[in-house]
């Protein structure tokens, strides 16, 4: 029997291979559906590998170089043979692109009768209850909020989805959204009078009934951790799970498999307790006197650190620090407030909800505090096994966060993959270091799983140049950013603007913006200067494309997920190799654990992380077969350090130079005939 099953599987695989050759071939249906479509061997081979993983219900790590067309390479087999499919991608923008553009294109080309649903986190959907409450309360602080609220109210009467992405008149980051959406803590669930019309519940119901569901990584892992996003209901029936932009998974999963409790959460709860207490139980307590000591204790906890920005592990905090007594004081005052809520909660549904939130916050504070006095910190996973983690604090200008972060997500994620057999596809342009997948596999617990890398179809040797300038100081030098700008200015001039300057820190972004603004004015250079933070990312990119000769300065959010094709982007300047800050508490703890096992923390963790990040930044430059440009990496360690060779060998195979005249000649030369592929 097993032998005959193997034979039938082999026959099915051969049939899939033949189908894929036909579908992706020059006379296939994808050609008419996609403007300028041409067959690419890498795309066809990747599609066959995905089809095999789907047929065998196995795992596949698939790295596909820029221009391979990986989205179609996984969508075609998934729509034809994937059964119930969950596609998870890196951002909500990419989620919308898949749902609105890519999947409809492939579905139409294949004539595949599959239903598709989009599922986002609850903060993306207008909540009827909170909208109504905000309209009645009218506690709005600005004229903008009043106008935005009117637009949102109008929107809910016409929208089918309630997804705020559809309402372009109200900015995605407008503060009013916090007042008209629900959180896990503030949702009334089936008790809500608007439950039958709830946009979140509608989206979840559609997702349960659809063949293909598009989610994002934050949603997927929030669900695995919190069981609150609707993915929990989808997972049992899913046959195929595809993670696009999979290189982001270790960071996203770490975020959600850890736990965080913040003074902001405490202050938000105090605000709601005061409002609900006065509304529903005015005679039950002196509500202002109930919440004020808690608010004061939360602010005092933040003030235990006088600095603006702080990231410290618990064992880096001096035992004599005011932090520990301030934490105990907050717990005491919080417990007293909870005592009042226990007595008054039955008087209103919203007070009961405050009590539930308070119980959960108190438990989180207690867990963190208990871990802080015992070492090492250990957290229970879903099966009750201990997961080693690091406790640390992060202070911002007006809030303090207490984090408990697992040192490895591999054991937790592996438990999610146990049980029902299904296929798991992990794909990205950047999963490997010189075709070695060990770093990503170890982070995700994917040991001994198949992995393949398919090269980009682009002719990097003709299309691009890697330039590492000479005579730059060491990156830790105080003059470093100015030296980078001195080296970059003649290259920006030669390129006619059309540049991204990608920095590893926000401080470098600000300094570069000030200096370039002055230099452009002094030299009378006509290049519009766009700076991260001065407008939203989408708006900056639209302005960059429209200008045609702009210079955009950005940090991490512009290193990936940004697609500017054509002449508008012809120069990418990277100020430093993107090593994580060595004082990061989670990184330090991970390295300590690795070194106890006899591994080298730098070579086995920091270096591969930096290479994958750098590959993302470098990937902004050449986006199609006719693009040309220069990748300028200013860090002298690329040349001077023994590990530098490993880094540049992991980048696309550009021609390399250290000579400015060669770069200037590259920009002055006419573009060669574009490679039709």
User: Left if phi > 0, otherwise alpha if psi is -120 to 50, otherwise beta: which for 445?
Assistant: left
Indicate whether 290 pLDDT > 90: yes
Q: What is the mean pLDDT of residues 102-116?
A: 94
Write the DSSP symbol of residue 670: P
**What is the spatial distance between Cα 605 and Cα 603, in angstroms, rounded to a whole number?**
6
Residues of the chain with CATH 3.40.50.300: 460-668
**What's the token pair of residue 46?**
């990747």
**328 phi/psi in degrees, rounded to 5:** -65, -40
> What are 500-538's pLDDT values in tens digits?
999 999 899 999 999 999 999 999 999 999 999 888 888
Residue 302 CA to residue 397 CA, distance in Å, equals 9
Tokens of 181: 């959406």
Query: Higher confidence at residue 671 or residue 99?
Result: 99
Token reading at 536 = 């939203």
Instruction: Indicate the burial class of 596 (C-beta count within 10 angstroms; 0-12, 13-18, 19 or more).
Output: exposed
* Residue 227 pLDDT level (bands cut at 50, 70, 90): low
Q: Is there a contact between 323 and 304 (Cβ–Cβ < 8 Å)?
A: yes
Nearest CA to 569 out of 584, 581, 589, 552 is that of 552
CB atoms within 10 A of CB 237: 12
Tens of pLDDT along 637-650?
999 999 999 999 99
Whole-number Å distance between alpha carbons of 337 and 345: 12
Element (H, E) at 426: strand 423-428
CATH 1.10.275 domain extents, the chain: 259-406
Assigned fold of 259-406: Fumarase C; Chain B, domain 1 (1.10.275)
Mean pLDDT of the chain: 89
Q: pLDDT category, 677, cuts 50, 70, 90? A: very low
What share of the chain in percent tops pLDDT 70? 93
**Tens of pLDDT, residues 616-641:** 989 899 888 889 999 999 999 999 99
Report CA-CA distances (Å) from 501 to 64, 347, 480.
25, 58, 15
b/e per residue 344-377 (b: at least 16 CB within 10 A) = bbeeeebbbbbbebbeebbebbebbbebbeeeeb
Query: What tokens appear for 249 in the block?
Result: 């998974």
Tell me the residue ranges of DSSP E strands in 497-651: 499-502, 529-531, 551-554, 571-574, 629-633
| CB-based burial, 498-527: b 16+ in 10 Å, e otherwise | bbbbbbbeeebbbbbbebbeebbeeeebeb
pLDDT of residue 10: 63
Residue 383: predicted pLDDT: 41
Residue 173 CB burial class (10 angstroms; 0-12, 13-18, ≥19) = exposed
Q: Which residue has the tokens 């820190």?
A: 505
- According to the model, what pLDDT value does residue 387 have? 58
* Beta carbons within 8 Å of 121's beta carbon, 6+ residues apart: 218, 219, 222, 229
> Among 179-188, 424-433, 586-595, whose mean pLDDT is lowest?
179-188
The DSSP annotation for 79-126 comes to HHH-SSEEEEESSHHHHHHIIIIIHHHHHHHHT----EEE---GGGB-
Q: Are strands 400-406 and 386-395 parallel, antiparallel or unpaired?
A: antiparallel
The residue-averaged pLDDT of 586-597 equals: 90
CATH class of the domain comprising 460-668: alpha beta
State yes or no: pLDDT of 441 exceeds 60. yes
Q: Which of 184-193, 236-245, 593-602 shows the lowest mean pLDDT across its residues?
A: 184-193
462-495 residue pLDDT tens: 999 999 999 999 999 999 999 999 999 999 999 9
- Give the C-alpha separation, 268 to 294, whole Å: 11
Say if CB 103 and CB 116 are below 8 A apart: yes
**pLDDT value of position 598:** 92
Which of the listed ranges 103-107, 221-225, 388-392, 418-422 does the model predict with the highest average pLDDT? 103-107
Calculate mean pLDDT across residues 264-269: 93
* Token pair belonging to 93: 């923008």
Tokens describing residue 344: 């008054």
pLDDT of residue 562: 83
pLDDT of residue 533: 86
pTM over 0.85: yes
**Separation between Cα atoms, residue 69 and residue 61, nearest integer Å:** 16
| Position 670 pLDDT exceeds 90 | no
Q: Are 211 and 116 in contact (CB under 8 A)?
A: yes
Cα 357 to Cα 175: distance, rounded to the nearest angstrom: 22
Chain CA centroid to CA 577, Å = 20
Alpha-carbon span 502 to 617, nearest angstrom: 8
Residues 6 or more apart in contact with residue 117 via CB below 8 angstroms: 203, 206, 207, 209, 210, 212, 213, 214
pLDDT digits (tens, 9 = 90+) for 142-152: 788 888 999 99
Using the predicted structure, report yes or no on whether residue 138 has a pLDDT greater than 70.
Answer: no
Tell whether the model's pLDDT for residue 13 goes beyond 70: no
Enumerate the β-bridge partners of residue 88: 215, 243
Per-residue pLDDT at 219: 86
Res. 231 pLDDT band, cuts 50 70 90: low
Tokens 């226990």: give the residue: 342
User: Residues 103, 258: contact at Cβ < 8 Å?
Assistant: no
Taking each helix axis as running N to C, give the angle between helix 323-344 and helix 349-373, from 0 to 180 degrees, rounded to the nearest 10.
Answer: 150
Residue for token digits 């605000």?
Answer: 271
CA 296 to chain centre: 34
Residue pair 389/407 in contact (Cβ under 8 Å)? The answer is yes
Percent of the chain, pLDDT > 90?
61
What is the distance between the alpha carbons of residues 76 and 25, in angstroms, rounded to a whole number? Answer: 13
Residue 676 pLDDT: 45
């Amino acid at each position: 029997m097993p032998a005959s099953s193997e034979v039938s599987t082999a026959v099915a695989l051969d049939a899939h291979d033949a189908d894929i050759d036909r579908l992706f071939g020059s006379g296939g249906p994808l050609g008419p559906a996609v403007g300028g479509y041409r067959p690419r061997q890498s795309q066809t081979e990747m599609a066959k590998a995905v089809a095999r993983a789907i047929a065998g219900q196995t795992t596949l790590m698939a790295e596909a170089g820029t221009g391979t067309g990986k989205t179609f390479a996984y969508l075609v087999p998934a729509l034809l043979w994937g059964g119930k499919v969950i596609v998870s991608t890196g951002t909500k923008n990419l989620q919308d692109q898949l749902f609105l553009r890519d999947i409809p294109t492939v579905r139409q080309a294949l004539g595949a009768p599959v239903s598709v649903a989009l599922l986002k986190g609850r903060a993306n959907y207008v909540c009827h209850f909170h909208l109504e409450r905000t309209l009645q309360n009218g506690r709005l602080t600005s004229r903008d909020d009043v106008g935005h609220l009117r637009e949102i109210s109008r929107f809910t009467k016409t929208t089918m989805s309630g997804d705020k992405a559809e309402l372009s008149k109200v900015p995605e980051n407008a503060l009013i959204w916090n007042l008209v959406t629900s959180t896990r803590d503030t949702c009334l669930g089936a008790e809500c009078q608007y439950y039958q019309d709830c946009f979140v519940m509608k989206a979840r119901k559609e997702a349960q009934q659809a063949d293909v569901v598009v989610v994002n990584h934050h949603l997927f892992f929030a669900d695995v951790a919190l069981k609150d996003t609707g993915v929990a209901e989808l997972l049992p029936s899913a046959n195929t799970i595809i993670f696009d932009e999979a290189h982001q998974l270790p960071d996203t999963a770490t975020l959600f498999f850890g736990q965080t409790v913040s003074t902001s959460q405490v202050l938000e709860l105090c605000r709601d307790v005061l409002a609900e207490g006065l509304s529903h139980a005015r005679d039950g307590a002196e509500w202002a006197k109930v919440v004020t000591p808690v608010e004061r204790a939360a602010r005092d906890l933040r003030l235990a650190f006088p600095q603006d920005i702080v990231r410290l592990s618990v064992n880096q905090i001096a035992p004599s620090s005011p932090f520990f007594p301030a934490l105990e004081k907050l717990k005491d005052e919080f417990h007293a407030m909870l005592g009042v809520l226990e007595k008054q909660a039955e008087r209103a549904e919203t007070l009961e909800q405050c009590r539930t939130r308070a119980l959960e916050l108190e438990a989180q504070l207690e867990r963190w505090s208990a871990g802080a006095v015992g070492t090492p910190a250990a957290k229970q996973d879903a099966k009750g096994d201990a997961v080693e983690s690091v406790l640390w604090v992060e202070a911002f200008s007006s809030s303090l966060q207490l984090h408990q972060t697992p040192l490895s997500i591999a054991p937790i994620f592996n438990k999610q993959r146990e049980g029902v057999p299904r296929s798991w596809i992990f794909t990205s342009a950047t999963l490997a270091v010189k075709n070695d997948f060990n770093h990503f596999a170890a982070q995700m617990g994917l040991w001994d799983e198949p992995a393949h890398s398919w090269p980009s179809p682009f002719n990097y040797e003709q299309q691009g140049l890697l330039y590492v300038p000479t005579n730059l100081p060491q990156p830790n030098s105080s003059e470093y950013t100015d030296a980078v700008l001195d080296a970059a200015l003649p290259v920006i001039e030669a390129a006619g603007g059309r540049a991204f300057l990608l920095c590893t820190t926000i401080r470098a972004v600000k300094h570069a913006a000030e200096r370039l603004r002055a230099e452009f004015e002094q030299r009378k250079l006509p290049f519009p200067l766009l700076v991260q933070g001065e407008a939203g990312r989408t708006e900056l990119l639209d302005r960059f494309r429209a200008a045609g000769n702009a210079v955009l300065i950005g940090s991490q959010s512009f290193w990936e997920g940004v697609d500017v094709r054509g002449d508008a982007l012809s120069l990418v300047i990277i100020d430093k190799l993107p090593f994580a800050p060595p004082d990061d508490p989670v990184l330090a703890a991970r390295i300590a654990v690795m070194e106890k096992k006899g591994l080298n923390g730098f070579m086995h963790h920091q270096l591969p992380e930096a290479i994958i990040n750098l590959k993302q930044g470098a990937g902004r430059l050449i986006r199609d077969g006719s693009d040309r440009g220069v990748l300028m990496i200013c860090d002298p360690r690329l040349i001077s350090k023994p590990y530098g060779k490993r880094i540049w060998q992991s980048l696309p195979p550009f021609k390399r130079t250290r000579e400015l005249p060669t770069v200037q000649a590259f920009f002055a030369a006419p573009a060669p005939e574009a490679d039709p592929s």
